[in-house]
Homo-oligomer: A and B are copies of this chain.
Amino acid sequence: MSRVRVHNFSISLDGFGTGEGLTVEVPFGHAGHRLHQWMFATRFWHDHGVVDMGDSVGSEGVDNAFAERFGPGIGAEIMGAGKFGPPGWQDDPDWRGWWGENPPFHTPTYVLTHRPRPPLEMEGGTTFHFLDTSPAEALAVAVEGAAGQDVRIGGGPTVVREFLAAGLIDHLHVVQVPILLGRGVRLWDGLEGLEAQYVVETASSPSGVTHITLTR
Q: Which residues of A contact B (CB under 8 A)?
A: 13-15, 176, 178-183, 186, 188-195, 200-204, 208-210, 212
Check if A182 sits within 8 Å of B178, measured CB to CB: no
A182 to B, closest residue via Cβ: B192
Task: Tell me whether chain A's interface is mostly helix, strand or loop, or mixed.
Answer: loop
Supposing A189-B14, A210-B210 touch, asked if A178 and B203 sit within 8 A by C-beta, the answer is: no
Contacts of A202 in B (CB 8 A): 176, 178, 204, 208-210
Contacts of A195 in B (CB 8 A): 13, 178-180
Contacts of A193 in B (CB 8 A): 179-180, 182
A183 to chain B minimum Cβ distance, whole angstroms, is 7
Check if B188 sits within 8 Å of A192, measured CB to CB: no
Check if A200 sits within 8 Å of B208, measured CB to CB: yes
How far apart are the CA atoms of A212 and B12 in the complex, in Å? 13
A179 to B, closest residue via Cβ: B195
A55 to chain B minimum Cβ distance, whole angstroms, is 29
23 example contacts (A-B, Cβ-Cβ < 8 A) are as follows A13-B195, A14-B188, A14-B191, A15-B15, A15-B188, A178-B195, A178-B202, A178-B212, A179-B193, A180-B188, A180-B191, A180-B192, A180-B195, A182-B190, A182-B192, A182-B193, A183-B192, A200-B208, A201-B208, A202-B209, A202-B210, A204-B204, A204-B210
Contacts of A191 in B (CB 8 A): 14, 180, 182
How far apart are the CA atoms of A210 and B201 in the complex, in Å? 10
How far apart are the CA atoms of A46 and B40 in the complex, in Å? 45
CB < 8 Å: which of B178, B183, B189, B200 contacts A178?
B200
How far apart are the CA atoms of A14 and B200 in the complex, in Å? 14
CB < 8 Å: which of B176, B181, B212 contacts A192?
B181
